[in-house]
Structure formats: structure tokens, C-alpha cells
A and B are shown apart, each in its own frame.
Chain A
Amino acid sequence: MNAHEHCVRAERIARSLEKCGRDDFEMKIEAAMLAGTHWMNAALHRLSVTAPDSDVFHTYLLTVNEYRRLSVADESLVAALTEIEDLRPPYVRGNLPGGEQAAERALALLALIRNKAEGSA
């Protein structure tokens, strides 16, 4: 998928996010993960670090070598998506208290990723 197509998908997910209520923190985190992955792929394609036929699905599925390579391209971008992904086990699959705050953090990280993707356009 090319950078423009990733952005279109990410923007659609971001619009859907607005339909979540305050207590839908699980799906806010999931939506941040989904949209953030699309925006990160858009940024990486625009930086010519990855090709349109080589998208990242989850950072934890990358080889260590590839994770380090992408971090060289933009360490804070990769770290932001990693942090969103790390919110999923305790707050989406589990019931650790503080889900609403975790969702706010996920959305702040998503904004960072989006800014980077749009800044690389």
C-alpha cells in the first residue's frame, strides 16, 4: 500500500475514533494502534526506508535487526507505536485500572505519529 493509501485509511480510522465514548478506552487504544500503523507506514515509505510492498504490521513482529534499522530512520516514530502496542495487554486484553488515562496517552502518541507522517509528505 502506498503512502497516500495509508493516510486515507488512517484518517478514516481517526474519524471513527470520534464515535467512541469516554469509557471506550479499549477501542481507542486499538484504533490508535491501527491508525498509527498506517501513518507510520506512510512516513517510512515517504522517507524511502520501506517499500509500499513491505508494510510493518506490528513492531513486535519485526526482526530485531529491522526494528533497529527503522529506529535509525526515526527513533521516536517507532517508539511511539511500540508504546501504543504495549498498552494493549493490560488495558485492552486485561482489566488493569487506568484505562481512560492509557487511552489518552495512546491518542497523544497517535497525534505524534500523524504529525510525523504528514510532515514527511
Chain B
Amino acid sequence: MKTSFHLSQIAKLQALRARLDPLEDFELWFWVGMTAGTHAVNAALHCAGITADDEMFPTQPGVYLVPARDGALKPAFRALGDVLHVGRPKIEMPVPEHVARMFHQMETIEQHRDPCVRHGREPTPEIVAECDAALRCCLELLSNEVSAVTP
């Protein structure tokens, strides 16, 4: 997807996230932040020329929904566009330092995904603070990059 789409989605998700209570609404609060961070990573990868910004919708690593001749969406193998999560799929080429730092921030967030959203671990203020700081850092790294490449 285009970088402009990722940026607009980040803004929309940030507005929703501000209405959620980090502990009372933890699952959705976490998911909104993780989704915003993934948009940021995809935008950064496009800006760095690592992944394509084609308008196609990822279903699983390597498979995207693309419009067929009749206009219907069909799954098809395509070269790497948007990633689903950091590491899904793994980027098999060197990435710029700021992108690597964004990956690290997202890994910091995603380590809490299954324990706190899928399994029974109760979120704590410390987990909330860690996720919040990591997302903020991830978005700042993108913001710096977008400012640098956008006149």
C-alpha cells in the first residue's frame, strides 16, 4: 500500500487509541498500537526502497489479494509488499539503521501480544509503559524519515 495510506491509518489509529484506557481496554489498546506501528514499519520500508508500495492486500507471507480482470479480488503470489508483522515475513536484505531500530521497537511491543492478548497474562502498568514508549519511538523514527524524504 502507498506510504500516504499508511500515514493516514496511523493518524486514525492514534485518535482511537487516545480514547482507550490502556489497562481497562488493554487488548484493543494494544492491538491498535501494534497495528499503527506495523503501518509505520511498512511506510519506512517503502520509503527506503526495500518493499513495494503496490496496492495489494497481504493475506499471508508472499500471498496478496490483487484485482483480477473481472475486478474481483483473487489471492496471488507477489514480490514483497506490505509485511503482516515484523518478521512475517523476514526481510532478507540489509535495512537502514532507522528501520532496524523500528523493527526492534515493534519486537518489544509484540513480545506482549500472545501472553497478554491470547493467553491469560494480566497486563501491568509496566507493560503498558513499555509498549507506549516503544510505539512512540517507532513513530518518531518514521516521522524523522518522512520529514527527510518529503520536501
Q: Which residues of A contact B (CB under 8 A)?
A: 1, 5, 9, 12-13, 15-17, 19-21, 23-24, 26-27, 30-31, 34, 37, 55, 57, 60, 89-90, 92-96
A1-B120, A26-B9 known; A93+B27 contact, CB < 8 A: no
User: Which residues 86-107 of B have a CB within 8 angstroms of A?
Assistant: none
Q: Given known contacts A89-B58, A93-B58, is B31 in contact with A24 (CB within 8 Å)?
A: no
Interface residues of A: mostly helix, strand, loop or mixed? helix
CB of A41, distance to nearest CB on chain B (Å)? 9
Which chain B residues lie closer than 8 Å to A24 at the CB level?
12, 16
Give B residues with C-beta under 8 Å from A. Answer: 1, 5, 9, 12-13, 16, 19-20, 24-29, 31-32, 35, 55-60, 64-65, 73, 82, 84, 114, 117-120
A92 and B73 CA atoms in complex are apart in Å by: 15
Question: Is A16 in contact with B25, judged by CB distance below 8 angstroms?
Answer: yes
Which residues on A sit within 8 Å (CB–CB) of B65? 89-90, 94
Check if B60 sits within 8 Å of A27, measured CB to CB: no
B57 in complex: contacting residue of A20, A30, A96, CB < 8 Å = A96
Q: Are B1 and A27 in contact (CB under 8 A)?
A: no
26 contacts between A and B (CB under 8 A): A1-B120, A5-B120, A9-B120, A16-B20, A16-B28, A17-B28, A19-B25, A19-B28, A24-B16, A26-B9, A26-B35, A30-B28, A34-B27, A34-B28, A37-B118, A89-B57, A89-B59, A89-B64, A90-B57, A90-B73, A93-B58, A94-B1, A94-B55, A95-B1, A95-B55, A96-B73
